[in-house]
Chains A and B, each alone.
Chain A
Amino acid sequence: MSGTSTGHAADHSLDSYGDAAASATRVTPGNALRPEDIVLQDTAPASEAAAQYALRLGDDALVYAQRMAHWVSRAPELEEDVALGNITLDQLGHARSFLTYAGKAWGKTEDDLAYFREEEEFTSVHLVEQPNGDFAETTVRGLFLAIYQHLLYTRLLDSADETLAAISAKALKEVDYHLEHFEMWTLRLGLGTDESARRMRVALDKLWPYVDELFTDEPLYDELEGVAVRPSTLRADWDARLGELLERAGLAVPQVPYAMCHGRRGEHSEHLGYILAEMQVLARKHPGATW
């Protein structure tokens, strides 16, 4: 096969990746980097610090995707169901790439990391594990995260770590759409009826306590100069973008104190356990199962 392969450099050896090569999800248009490619890359694995960093990004996306998947078949309209489903799958895709890259440094697969870690080993922020709530809460959480990820992945394009930069380049195009989607809904709900604006205000107050954790630096970043983005450096742009949108939507930035959240070091709310139980039950009951 190697002589005829003109697309992905990795195509000729996909057979060695077993079932993943036969998966319907491996058909990716363009030259976007896929988790299967990351597995087969012959570049050096990530350093321990870079792997830890990739794990954080992957965990945020994975837990968020698992949360959002609950909307599928439950959205207020079929069209919104499809949109939320798309966003969910995009985030799952980002998680797969980041976890694959992190796992490679430790001799683990994306599945090992997703399905066979305990709650305290997850490094996701508290924002992504919060319950979906009503549509306004889902919109506000999606907005907070989309602005954050958009700024983050834009900066990561310049990362000295080429794999992190490549994953971010693919993710950025998709997050661009997520951000637009949640911005459009913020405007419509904020400027909609008294009830929709009231619900948005409630949702903003409810989720605001979890914002600060997104921008908390850790000692980890001292080892990742030029590779990772220091979260605190995203704050000013995040505030500006959110503030401008909320003003256009007739809403205000909440004046609510922040909660103490340490998701990055494995201290989670009671919600994460339930999310993981549902996500991991099949893989743990039937280890190695494929279909």
Chain B
Amino acid sequence: MSKTSTPNGTQSATSAHSAGWPLWEVFVRSSRGLSHVHAGSLHAPDAEMAVRNARDLYTRRNEGVSLWVVRSEDIMTSDPDDKDAMFESPKGKDYRHATYYTKSEGVKHL
């Protein structure tokens, strides 16, 4: 079984087809200066149609100024089953956070 998964958590993007249309992930930029944020997914026969469909499904109420679509199967993701190993290590390493450190004596303007 494939160890990859789409951002939706489906095990394999290639199994997530609908009537032969591949799945696409949609990223919307809400305004200039901000980055594109994942908004959801949809099915479309090709990239151009995916952008059009994304416009219908994710930007109908002035949500954005720009759209990106990416084939879901082109996204390599971390394995949900490996979550612990993948993300556990920072725990207990408080010194990685600025709040761990106390203000040195005599520092006035920190």
Q: Are the CB atoms of A184 and B52 closer together than 8 Å?
A: yes
Interface size on A, residues (CB 8 A): 12
Q: Are the CB atoms of A82 and B52 closer together than 8 Å?
A: no
Contacts of A29 in B (CB 8 A): 62
Contacts of A79 in B (CB 8 A): 42-44, 53, 56-57
Q: Find the A residue at minimum CB distance from B62.
A: A29
User: Does A77 sit at the interface, judged by CB under 8 A?
Assistant: yes
Contacts of A83 in B (CB 8 A): 52-53, 56
> Once bound together, how far apart are the Cα atoms of A286 and B16, in whole Å?
47
CB distance from B69 to the nearest CB of A (A): 12
Which B44-73 residues sit within 8 Å CB-CB of chain A?
A: 44-46, 48-49, 52-53, 56-57, 60, 62
> Once bound together, how far apart are the Cα atoms of A184 and B86, in whole Å?
43
CB distance from B45 to the nearest CB of A (A): 7
> Once bound together, how far apart are the Cα atoms of A70 and B48, in whole Å?
26
Q: Known contacts A77-B43, A79-B42: does B56 contact A184 (CB below 8 Å)?
A: no
Contacts of A82 in B (CB 8 A): 53, 56-57
Q: Report 20 cross-chain contacts, Cβ distance below 8 Å, ordered by A residue.
A: A29-B62, A77-B18, A77-B19, A77-B21, A77-B43, A78-B18, A79-B43, A79-B44, A79-B53, A79-B57, A82-B53, A82-B56, A82-B57, A83-B52, A86-B56, A86-B60, A181-B52, A184-B49, A184-B52, A188-B46
User: Does A76 sit at the interface, judged by CB under 8 A?
Assistant: yes
Interface string of A57-100 (1 = CB under 8 A from B): 00000000000000000001111001100100000000000000
CB distance from A91 to the nearest CB of B (A): 15
Nearest 3 A-B pairs (CB), nearest first?
A79-B53, A82-B56, A83-B56
> Once bound together, how far apart are the Cα atoms of A103 and B52, in whole Å?
36
User: Does A180 sit at the interface, judged by CB under 8 A?
Assistant: yes
- Given pairs A77-B19, A83-B56, A188-B45, 18 additional interface contacts (CB within 8 A): A29-B62, A77-B18, A77-B21, A77-B43, A78-B18, A78-B43, A79-B44, A79-B53, A79-B56, A79-B57, A82-B53, A83-B52, A83-B53, A86-B56, A86-B60, A180-B52, A184-B49, A184-B52
CB distance from A7 to the nearest CB of B (A): 15
> Once bound together, how far apart are the Cα atoms of A82 and B60, in whole Å?
11
> Once bound together, how far apart are the Cα atoms of A77 and B57, in whole Å?
13
> Once bound together, how far apart are the Cα atoms of A236 and B94, in whole Å?
74
Query: Residue among B44, B45, B46 with the most chain A CB within 10 A?
Result: B45
Q: Find the A residue at minimum CB distance from B54.
A: A79
Q: Find the B residue at minimum CB distance from A185.
A: B49
> Once bound together, how far apart are the Cα atoms of A150 and B70, in whole Å?
31
Contacts of B56 in A (CB 8 A): 79, 82-83, 86
Contacts of A184 in B (CB 8 A): 48-49, 52
Interface string of A148-190 (1 = CB under 8 A from B): 0000000000000000000000000000000011001000100
Contacts of B49 in A (CB 8 A): 184, 188
Contacts of B60 in A (CB 8 A): 86
Interface string of B75-95 (1 = CB under 8 A from A): 000000000000000000000
Contacts of B18 in A (CB 8 A): 77-78
Q: Find the A residue at minimum CB distance from B53.
A: A79
